[in-house]
C-alpha cells in the first residue's frame, strides 16, 4: 500500500512534523517511533508519553435493547457495568474465539461506546449489524473521533490543567464527559501500557491543538510523543493481548488466559456453549508469558519447541526496555504452563532456552 | 564520518584490512537506522564463511538485521564485549563496536567493496528512493 491510499488520522501531520517515522498500520499512516523507542518506553514508565490512537474504532450502540445485544455478543457481563464504567471484553464467534477484543463504555443503560481495533473495525461493525435485534442502533463513529492516549505516572498531572473535571475522581476503567482545552471530550482512565493514564476522545478538528497543549503541560514531566513500537513493548511488559498476534479467530478466550473477562454464568451469549464445553473438557493449550534464559531475543512467529517437539510459535516477543529482559508470549500445552517450565525457542536455526514466568511481567506499584 | 582506510558494502558493513585480516562491523548509517542496539549475535570463532553468508545479527528493540560476511574466510575473533555492551555498536560503530575478524581467503574480493567516497555517494542515492 503506498502512502496515497493510506488514511491519515487528525494527528498524522503533527506526528510527522514532530519527527515521527511514519509507517502503514491498519490502513493508516502512523508513527512507529519518534526519536527512540527505548526513550519513549521509559518516559511512559517514569513520567508521561503521548500516543496518537485515533486509528482505533469508536462504535456507539444505543437504544432500549442495547444492553441485551451487547450481552449476547460479548463474553464479559455488561449488566455489571455502572454508568461511567468501562470493561475489557471479547466480541465472540460461536467457537468462543475472537472477532475482536474491545473496551465497552457504559454511558447509561441505553448508550454504550465500544472502542475496537482499527484493523477489525469494519468486520466488527458487520458482525454487530448481522446480529442486531430489537430496538437498537449501531453507529460507527470512528471518522468523527480523534483519540489521544496520555500514559504514565505523570499522566494525571499532564492532563489536569486542560480539563474542567477533577481527574482524581475518575477511577481506573471509569470515564466521564467533560471538556479538554474547551472542547467536549470523553475522558477515560484507560490505556494499553500498564501505567495509569487517560484516553481522550474528541472531535477531529481540535485534536492537533490539544496534542500541542499536552506537550506543553507535560513538559515538566519529560513528556515525549510515542510511536507504535513503544506501544507494543509497553503492552507486552504488561501482558496485554494484541489482536492478530496473541488472540484471533482461532484462539478462545479461555486459551488466551482471559477467563476473567469470560462470564460463563451469565445468560446465553455467542460462544458460551463452546466455552463451557472447553472448560469441562479441559484446555489443550494456554497462553503464557516467558523469559529467555539463554542469549537471544524471541520475536513474533519464531517456532516454539516443547520437549524437543514443535508446538506453535511465539505470538509476541521482544526485548523489554524497562525490565531489560527478553520476554514473550506463546501458547504451550496446558501441562507445560506452570511457572518455571522450560522449553525452547528456535532463533535462526538454533534452539534457545526459555522458561514460563509469572505475568504480568511488569506491574505498576502505585 | 567514513574513513578512507576502510572499505564498505551495500549492506552497510565496514571492513578494515590489516595483514590479511579483515575486521568488520556495521556502519554509522546502519546503526543510526536501527536505533538502540540491544543484542548482537556474534559468529563462532573458527567458522569458515563465504562472502555473503550470514555472519551474525544486530537487533534493536524493534528489528533484527542480519550481518553478512563481506569477504570469505575463517572467523578468527569476535568482539565478546558486545555480549554485555551491545550499545557499543551505537556509540563507536567504526571502532569499539567492531563485530568480527576474518582471515581473508581471497584478497581479490576486496576489489568488489566500496571506497569511502563511493559509499557516501551510495548513501546519497539510497536517500533519493
ipTM exceeds 0.95, yes or no: no
CB atoms B54 and A38 under 8 Å: no
Place B127 in a pLDDT band, splitting at 50, 70 and 90. Answer: confident
Question: B87 at the A interface (CB within 8 A)?
Answer: no
Q: How many domains does chain B have?
A: 1
> What is the per-residue pLDDT for A13?
98
The predicted pLDDT at position A273 comes to: 98
Average pLDDT, chain A: 97
Q: What pLDDT is stored for residue B128 in this prediction?
A: 72
CB spacing of B54 vs A348 below 8 angstroms: yes
Q: Check if CATH label 2.40.30.110 holds for domain A259-357.
A: yes
Domain that holds residue B31: 7-120
pLDDT at A34: 96
Mean pLDDT of A177-187: 98
B39 to chain A: which residues are within 8 Å by CB? 295-297, 319, 326
Residue B93 lies in a domain: yes
| Whole-number pLDDT of residue A295 | 93
- Residue A181, beta-bridge partner list: none
Q: Please answer whether residues A114 and A84 qualify as being in contact, where contact means their C-beta atoms are separated by less than 8 angstroms.
A: no
- Segment A99-112 mean pLDDT: 98
pLDDT at residue A2 greater than cutoff 80: no
Asked if the structure places residue B127 within a domain, the reply is: no
Is B2 inside any structural domain?
A: no
* pLDDT value, residue A319: 97
Q: Report the residue of chain A nearest B41, measured CA to CA.
A: A296
Question: Average pLDDT for residues B87-96, to the nearest whole number?
Answer: 97
Start-end of H helices in chain A: 12-17, 37-46, 66-73, 121-130, 155-159, 207-217, 228-237, 272-281
Report chain B's terminal Cα–Cα distance, integer Å: 22
Domain ranges of chain A: 12-53+143-237, 57-142, 259-357
Partner A contacted by B63 (CB < 8 A) = no
Over range A224-251, report the average pLDDT.
Answer: 98
- Mind listing the pLDDT tens digit for each residue in A272-304? 999 999 999 999 999 999 999 999 999 999 999
Q: pTM for this structure?
A: 0.94
Match 546503526 to its residue by C-alpha cell: B31
Cα separation, B107 vs B98, whole angstroms: 20
| Domain annotation covers residue B128 | no
A165-194 average pLDDT score: 98
Phi, psi of A260 (to 5 degrees): -70, -15
Q: Does B60 touch chain A (CB under 8 A)?
A: yes
> Residue range A86-102: average pLDDT?
98
Is some CB atom of chain A closer than 8 A to the CB atom of B33?
no
**Average pLDDT estimate for B61-86:** 96
**Chain A contact for B62 (CB, 8 A cutoff):** yes
Q: Could you tell me the fold of the domain covering A57-142?
A: Alpha-Beta Plaits (3.30.70)
Q: What is the mean pLDDT of chain B?
A: 95
pLDDT of residue A104: 98
% residues pLDDT > 70 (chain A)? 99
If phi > 0 it is left, if psi is from -120 to 50 it is alpha, else beta; for residue A125 that is alpha
Q: What is the mean pLDDT of residues B66-86?
A: 97
Q: What is the DSSP string of A154-200?
A: THHHHHGGGBSS-GGGSPTTBEEEEEETTEEEEEE---SSSS-EEEE
Q: How high is the pLDDT of residue A285?
A: 98
Contact B36 A295 (CB under 8 A): no
pLDDT score of A255: 98
Residue A4 in this model has a pLDDT that exceeds 70: no
Three cell numbers written together for B52: 555473503
Tell me if B86 is assigned to some domain.
yes
User: Of the candidates A10, A124, A152, which has an alpha carbon nearest to the alpha carbon of residue A60?
Assistant: A124
β A224-226/A49-52 pair status: parallel
pLDDT of residue A154: 98
> How much is the pLDDT for A172?
98
CB distance from A295 to chain B under 8 Å? yes
B70 found inside a domain: yes
Mutation site, B39, B62, B65, B83, interface A, largest A CB count within 10 A: B62
Q: Does A349 touch chain B (CB under 8 A)?
A: no
Q: Dump pLDDT digits (tens) for A45-78.
A: 999 999 999 999 999 999 999 999 999 999 999 9
Question: Which residues of chain A does B57 touch, with a Cβ-Cβ cutoff of 8 Å?
Answer: 348
- Does residue B126 lie within any of the structural domains? no
Distance from A318 to chain B by nearest Cα, in Å?
Answer: 7
* CATH value at residue B29: 2.40.50.100
For residue A5, what pLDDT is reported?
Answer: 86
Domain A12-53+143-237 matching CATH 3.30.1360.120: the answer reads yes
- Summarize the confidence of residues A188-215 as an average pLDDT: 98
So what's the pLDDT on residue B1?
84
User: CB–CB of B61 and A229 under 8 A?
Assistant: yes
Amino acid at each position: 500500500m503506498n502512502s496515497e491510499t493510506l488514511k491519515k488520522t487528525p494527528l498524522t501531520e503533527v506526528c510527522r512534523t514532530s519527527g515521527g517515522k511514519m509507517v502503514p498500520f491498519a490502513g493508516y499512516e502512523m508513527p512507529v517511533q519518534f526519536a527512540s523507542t527505548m526513550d519513549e518506553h521509559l518516559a511512559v514508565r517514569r513520567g508521561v508519553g503521548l500516543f496518537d490512537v485515533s486509528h482505533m474504532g469508536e462504535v456507539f450502540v444505543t437504544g432500549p435493547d442495547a444492553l441485551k445485544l451487547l450481552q449476547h455478543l460479548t463474553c464479559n457481563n455488561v449488566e455489571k457495568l455502572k454508568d461511567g464504567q468501562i470493561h475489557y471484553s471479547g466480541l465472540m464467534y460461536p467457537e468462543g474465539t475472537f472477532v475482536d477484543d474491545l473496551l465497552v463504555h457504559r454511558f447509561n443503560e441505553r448508550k454504550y461506546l465500544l472502542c475496537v481495533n482499527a484493523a477489525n473495525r469494519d468486520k466488527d461493525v458487520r458482525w454487530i449489524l448481522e446480529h442486531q435485534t430489537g430496538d437498537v442502533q449501531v453507529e460507527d463513529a470512528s471518522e468523527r473521533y480523534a483519540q489521544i492516549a496520555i500514559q504514565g505516572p505523570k499522566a494525571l498531572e499532564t492532563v489536569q490543567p486542560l480539563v474542567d473535571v477533577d481527574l482524581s475522581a475518575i477511577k481506573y476503567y471509569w470515564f466521564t464527559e467533560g471538556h479538554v482545552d474547551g472542547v467536549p471530550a470523553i475522558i477515560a482512565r484507560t490505556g494499553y501500557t500498564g501505567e495509569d493514564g487517560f484516553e481522550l476522545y474528541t472531535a477531529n478538528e481540535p485534536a492537533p491543538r490539544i496534542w500541542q497543549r499536552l506537550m506543553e503541560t507535560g513538559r515538566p514531566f519529560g513528556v515525549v510523543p510515542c510511536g507504535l513500537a513503544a506501544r507494543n513493548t509497553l503492552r507486552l511488559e504488561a501482558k496485554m493481548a494484541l489482536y492478530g498476534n496473541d488472540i484471533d479467530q482461532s484462539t478462545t478466550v479461555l486459551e488466551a488466559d482471559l477467563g476473567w473477562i469470560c462470564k460463563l454464568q451469565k445468560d446465553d451469549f455467542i460462544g458460551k456453549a463452546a466455552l463451557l464445553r472447553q472448560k469441562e473438557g479441559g484446555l489443550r493449550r494456554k497462553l503464557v508469558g516467558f523469559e529467555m534464559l539463554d542469549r537471544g531475543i524471541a520475536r513474533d512467529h519464531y517456532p516454539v519447541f516443547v520437549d524437543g517437539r514443535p508446538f506453535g510459535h511465539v505470538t509476541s516477543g521482544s526485548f523489554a526496555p524497562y525490565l531489560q529482559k527478553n520476554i514473550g508470549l506463546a501458547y504451550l500445552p496446558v501441562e507445560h504452563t506452570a511457572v518455571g517450565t522450560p522449553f525452547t525457542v528456535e532463533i535462526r536455526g538454533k534452539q534457545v532456552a526459555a522458561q514460563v514466568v509469572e505475568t504480568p511481567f511488569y506491574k505498576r506499584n502505585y | 564520518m567514513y574513513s578512507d582506510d576502510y572499505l564498505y558494502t551495500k549492506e552497510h558493513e565496514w571492513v578494515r584490512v590489516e595483514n590479511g585480516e579483515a575486521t568488520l562491523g556495521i556502519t554509522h548509517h546502519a546503526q543510526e537506522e536501527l536505533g538502540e542496539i540491544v543484542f548482537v549475535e556474534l559468529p563462532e570463532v573458527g567458522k569458515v564463511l563465504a562472502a555473503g553468508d550470514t555472519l551474525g545479527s544486530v537487533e534493536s528493540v524493534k528489528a533484527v538485521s542480519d550481518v553478512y560476511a563481506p569477504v570469505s574466510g575463517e572467523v578468527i575473533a569476535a568482539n565478546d564485549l558486545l555480549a554485555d555492551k551491545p550499545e557499543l555498536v551505537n556509540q563507536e560503530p567504526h571502532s569499539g563496536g567492531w563485530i568480527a575478524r576474518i582471515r581473508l581467503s581471497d584478497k581479490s574480493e576486496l576489489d568488489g567493496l566500496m571506497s569511502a567516497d563511493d559509499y557516501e555517494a551510495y548513501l546519497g542515492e539510497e536517500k533519493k528512493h
